[in-house]
Amino acid sequence: MKVIKNSITDDLHQKCVIDIEDKKPKSCWTSSSLVWPPEIRQGIDGSCIFTPVSDNICKLLEQELDPLLPKPYGELIFQYYIWQWNSGISWHQDKFRFGATLYLNDFWNANGGGWFMWEDTDGYHSLLPEKNLLSINDNNEYHCVTPVSPNAPMFRYTIQIWGK
């Protein structure tokens, strides 16, 4: 797992936040409860919603993130995720060349749940969401997201990125 701080500029971060906020009231979202297989929803009571990132933001993200992403990656898929209360994802492996998460919240309280965890040859690790932090899973490592607390003052916002 690679963890990179300040992976995008604050300007691009702001554009992403504006884009996700613009999409929030629209009928473009899919729910994890509807499409994720049961094995990655084990122990998870809530639902995560997701939608594709706008094309213009995808281009900007690809330009800024390209030096950081594993090569070769072919096609990139960018999706906004809103991790609602009680949402998370059970331990699993991705089925892509690599998976990455870009964290969008300006601040995340450690008591809010939503911790990213993974297992590698050194054991178990955890990561608290942090603005513009990018985690890249390019070794097919098992990972999960702990449920977001119903007491968290906000939802957890990320951009999920997959390289095919």
Amino acid making up residue 162 = W
How many CB atoms within 10 Å of residue 29? Answer: 16
**pLDDT for position 15:** 98
**pLDDT for position 29:** 98
pTM value?
0.96
**pLDDT for position 125:** 98
**pLDDT for position 117:** 98
Q: pLDDT tens across 39-57, in order?
A: 999 999 999 999 999 999 9
Q: Point out the residues of the chain with pLDDT beneath 50.
A: none
**pLDDT for position 66:** 96
Distance CA 115, CA 110 (A): 8
Distance CA 117, CA 50 (A): 20
Q: Which two tokens stand for residue 152?
A: 């968290």
Q: pLDDT tens across 106-129, in order?
A: 999 999 999 999 999 999 999 999
Q: Is 14 left (phi over 0), alpha (psi -120 to 50) or beta?
A: alpha
